[in-house]
Structure 1
Amino acid sequence: MSNAAPNRRSFPLNAWYVAAWSREVTHALAPRTICDKKIVMYRTGEGKPVALEDACWHRLAPLSKGWLEGDQVVCGYHGLVFNAQGRCTHMPSQETINPSACVRVFPAVEKHGFIWLWPGEPALADPATIPDMHWVNDPEWAGEGVVTPMACNYRLIVDNLMDLTHETFVHKTSIGNSAVAEAPFEVTHGERTAQLTRWMLGIEPPPFWAFQLGSRLGIEGKVNVDRWQYINFEAPAAVVLDVGVALAGTGAPQGDRSKGVNLRICHFITPETERTCHFFWVLRRNFKLDDAELTVATRERNAAIVAEDKDVLIAQQQAMEAAPDAVFYNLNIDAGAMWARRIQERMIDAEAPPVLRAAE
C-alpha cells in the first residue's frame, strides 16, 4: 500500500480521543489541536469539562488568548463573551446580540483519568463507547504516565505498538531480546478491535523485566521466565498492553501469574495534524502499590523506551514525506497493524458523503 493518500484524512472524526489528562484541565483556558481542529478547554466552577472551538465568532481570534470570567470565556481581542454552551452573551458597544454569534462546542467527557473529546458529529457522541481503560485510575493498580508530543502521523505509533517484534532491535538494551522476534504469535480481530498474542517460554528476561521481577519477588541473579504480550487495539487509536513475566514453569501460560509481575501499559494516540500527534501513555502495576520510588523508576524507564521509539518514528515520518509515493510492504509481523488500519479505514469511509462513496 502507498504510505500516503492525497486529500484524504488519515483519522476518523466520529470517535472519542483523549484530549488531556484530567489534571491538565483546570479553571483556566487550555488550548490544544485535535484532529486538525483548534480547541480550547477549561472546567466550570462545578468541575465540568468544556471544549470550545478556539476561534472567536467575530474575527477568529483564538479564545485561548482571552480569559475566564466565571464560567464564560472573554475574547482577548474585542471582549465578546461566550458561555459554556458556545453562545455569545455579550458584545461590546451594543445591546443587541447577533443571534448567529456562537462558537462550536465539542462533546467532552471525563473518564478513566482523562478528558475525552469527540471531534465529529455531536449527535453521534455516545459516552458508552469510550474504551474501557479502568486500569488508569483503578486503586488496585499503581503507576504514572505522561503525554509525549510526537512529530509523526498517529498511525505510525499504532503500527509500532501492534508489532512488538521491534523490541528486539529498537529496545535491545531495555525490553528486547531475540526471543521477541523469534516467538510465534496469533492475531484475532472484531468490528472495532484487534488483538495480538505472543508467549515466550523459558527465556532470559531483558533488563527492564529483570528489574520488575526483582522488585516484585526480591530475586537477584539470572533466572528464566515465561513472558507474555497481549496487545489490545480498540479503534481508532487506543492500545493496551497486558504484559509481564513469571518464573518459568510456574503456570503463567495456564493462568497463574502469581510468581511474576503483571503490567498494563495504556496508550492513547490522538491526532493533532496529519504529521503530528499527542501520545498519552501510562504504565500500571498490581504490586507494591505504595512504593513511590518504584513508580518513578518504572515511569522513567518507560520514558526512555518511548524516546527510542520517538527517534525511529520521526525519522520514518520524514522519510515518508520525502517519498510520498513510496509503497509500504507487509510482513507476517504486520498482521496486527494491518487489521488496525483496516478498521480505521472503514471508519473514515463511513464518514464520507454518499456521493463520494459512490464515486470510489
Structure 2
Amino acid sequence: MSTWIDNRWYVAGWDFEVDRAPLARTICGEPVMLYRRLDRQIVAMQDACPHRLLPLSMGIKEGDSIRCRYHGLLIGSDGRAEEMPLRNDPVNRSICVKTYPVVERHRYVWIWIGAAEKADPALIPDFWPCSSDGWTFDGGYNAIACDYRLLIDNLMDLTHETYVHEGSIGQRELMEAPITTHAEGDEIVVTRWMPGIEAPPFWRGALGKDGLVDRWQICRFLPPSNVIIDVGVAPVGAGASVESHDQGVRGFVIDAITPESETSTHYFWGMARNFDVHDTGFTARFKQQQGGVFAEDVEVLEAQQRSILRNPGSKLRAYAIDQGGVKARLVIERLRKAEAAELA
C-alpha cells in the first residue's frame, strides 16, 4: 500500500510549465501527460498508448489530439481513439486512455489521481495569499530524491534553519524560542515567536534597515501534503504580535509537495508577499535567494533518504522539536487508512 492519499488534489505543475507540448510527470506513482488544448484548457491523461504502451508524451500533437509515435494511433483530448493505425480501419471508440480531473488555481495545476467522481474543486488547499489582491506570488520547482514525508518533517520543524541555512535565514535564536503545536481539524499548526532579536541576512535585506525585530514563523500543514509558513519580521515597537503582524515585512512560504514515488518527490515552492508587490526585480531576486535556500534543504534531504535506505533496521526518532512533523504524519496515516477502509 502506498504512503500517500489517492483521493486528494496534488500539484502537477506550475501554470507556466504546461503548454501545448506534452509534459510528462509521474504523480503518486502514475505516469501522466499534460498539455493545453487550443482553448488553453489543460488535458491530463495516462502517459501510455493503449496499443503498445509507448509514452504518449513522445507523440505528435495534431490540433488538440495526440498521435502515438510508434504506430500512429490518434487519441483525442477526451482520451478516446479518433483514428486507428491503419487509416481505413473503422475507429474503435472503446479504445481509451485514462484521463484525470485538473483545475488551475493559485498559479498551480492541480490533479486528482484517485476516483474521478470524487474530485471536488472545493477540496483544493486554500493557498489564499497566492491569488489575493495586495499580494504577489512566484516560485520554482525541485525534484527531490526522498520520501515526500521527509520534506513535510523538514518544513514543520524550522529549528533546522540554524544549521542547514546558517548563512541565509538561520540564527541561534531559533533553537531558544518556545514552540507551540496544535491541531485545527486535519491541519497542524506550529508557532514560534521571537521578540527583540537581530534579523538574519535574508530578512534584514527584505526589511531594508538594521535594528532589533520581532520575528515569527507559523507553519501550517494542509492535507494531503502541503505546508504554508507565515513568516516575517517587524521592527521592535511596531506593534506586531502573533495574532496580527503586518507591520513589517510579511510573506507566506508556499510548499506544495507531490509524491512521485515512495522515494522521490516533486517540490513546488514559492513566496507570496504583501510588500513591494509591484517590484518585479525584487521578485526575481527574492525567488533566486529562496531557491538557494531550498537547494540547501535538497542536499540534506537526499542524503537523509540515502542513509535511511542504507540503514533498514534503524528508525527515525522524534524529539520535542519534531512534534509538527509527527502530528502531520499521524493525520496522513489516519486519512490513508480511512480511504483504504472505504475501498475495502
> TM-score per shorter chain, which class?
over 0.9
Question: Which residue of structure 1 lines up, in the alignment, with residue 34 of structure 2?
Answer: 41
Given that residues 191 and 343 in structure 1 are in contact (C-alpha distance below 8 angstroms), is that contact kept between their aligned partners in structure 2? no
The amino acid of 1:174's aligned partner reads: S
Question: Which residue of structure 2 lines up, in the alignment, with residue 225 of structure 1?
Answer: 213
The separation in 2 between residues aligned to 1:256 and 1:234, in whole angstroms, is 21
> Residue by residue, what CA displacement relative to the aligned partner does 1:90-137 show, whole Å, maximum 9, x if unpaired?
112243333431110111111111110011111111111001113223
2:60 matches 1:67: yes
- TM-score between both structures, scaled by the size of structure 2: 0.95
2:274 matches 1:281: no
2:228 matches 1:240: yes
Distance 1:226 1:355, change over 3 A: closer
Cα drift, residue 139 of structure 1: 4.3
Question: Which residue of structure 2 lines up, in the alignment, with residue 5 of structure 1?
Answer: none
5+ residue gaps, structure 1: 1-7
2:248 matches 1:257: no
The separation in 2 between residues aligned to 1:295 and 1:240, in whole angstroms, is 19
Q: Of the candidates 309, 318, 337, which is equivalent to residue 306 of structure 2? A: 318
Question: Which residue of structure 1 lines up, in the alignment, with residue 6 of structure 2?
Answer: 13
Q: Of the candidates 135, 141, 148, which is equivalent to residue 141 of structure 1? A: 135
SS of aligned partner of 1:330: coil
> Residue by residue, what CA displacement relative to the aligned partner does 1:137-170 show, whole Å, maximum 9, x if unpaired?
3341124201111111111111000000111111
Question: Which residue of structure 2 lines up, in the alignment, with residue 90 of structure 1?
Answer: 83
Cα drift, residue 256 of structure 1: 5.2
Cα drift, residue 291 of structure 1: 1.6
Given that residues 80 and 91 in structure 1 are in contact (C-alpha distance below 8 angstroms), is that contact kept between their aligned partners in structure 2? yes
SS of aligned partner of 1:240: strand
The separation in 2 between residues aligned to 1:192 and 1:85, in whole angstroms, is 35
Given that residues 267 and 280 in structure 1 are in contact (C-alpha distance below 8 angstroms), is that contact kept between their aligned partners in structure 2? yes
Question: Which residue of structure 2 lines up, in the alignment, with residue 113 of structure 1?
Answer: 107
Identity percentage of aligned residues: 42
The separation in 2 between residues aligned to 1:254 and 1:118, in whole angstroms, is 35
Cα drift, residue 280 of structure 1: 0.3
Given that residues 216 and 242 in structure 2 are in contact (C-alpha distance below 8 angstroms), is that contact kept between their aligned partners in structure 1? no
Structural RMSD (CA):
1.6
The separation in 1 between residues aligned to 2:126 and 2:317, in whole angstroms, is 33
SS of aligned partner of 2:92: coil
Where do 1:124-135 residues align within 5 Å? 124-135=118-129
The amino acid of 2:184's aligned partner reads: G
Given that residues 50 and 96 in structure 2 are in contact (C-alpha distance below 8 angstroms), is that contact kept between their aligned partners in structure 1? yes
2:327 matches 1:339: yes
The separation in 1 between residues aligned to 2:111 and 2:242, in whole angstroms, is 39
- TM-score between both structures, scaled by the size of structure 1: 0.91
Distance 1:322 1:138, change over 3 A: same
SS of aligned partner of 2:206: helix
2:260 matches 1:272: yes
Where do 1:167-206 residues align within 5 Å? 167-206=161-200
Q: Of the candidates 123, 129, 137, which is equivalent to residue 117 of structure 2? A: 123
Larger strand share, 1 or 2: 2
Question: Which residue of structure 1 lines up, in the alignment, with residue 160 of structure 2?
Answer: 166
The separation in 2 between residues aligned to 1:354 and 1:333, in whole angstroms, is 34
The separation in 2 between residues aligned to 1:355 and 1:243, in whole angstroms, is 40
> Residue by residue, what CA displacement relative to the aligned partner does 1:241-271 show, whole Å, maximum 9, x if unpaired?
1111111132111655354111111110111
Cα drift, residue 18 of structure 1: 0.4
The separation in 2 between residues aligned to 1:136 and 1:192, in whole angstroms, is 22
Q: Of the candidates 28, 45, 50, which is equivalent to residue 21 of structure 2? A: 28
The separation in 2 between residues aligned to 1:78 and 1:341, in whole angstroms, is 45
The separation in 2 between residues aligned to 1:60 and 1:156, in whole angstroms, is 33
SS of aligned partner of 2:291: helix
SS of aligned partner of 2:163: helix
Question: Which residue of structure 1 lines up, in the alignment, with residue 281 of structure 2?
Answer: 293
Given that residues 28 and 67 in structure 1 are in contact (C-alpha distance below 8 angstroms), is that contact kept between their aligned partners in structure 2? no
2:81 matches 1:81: no
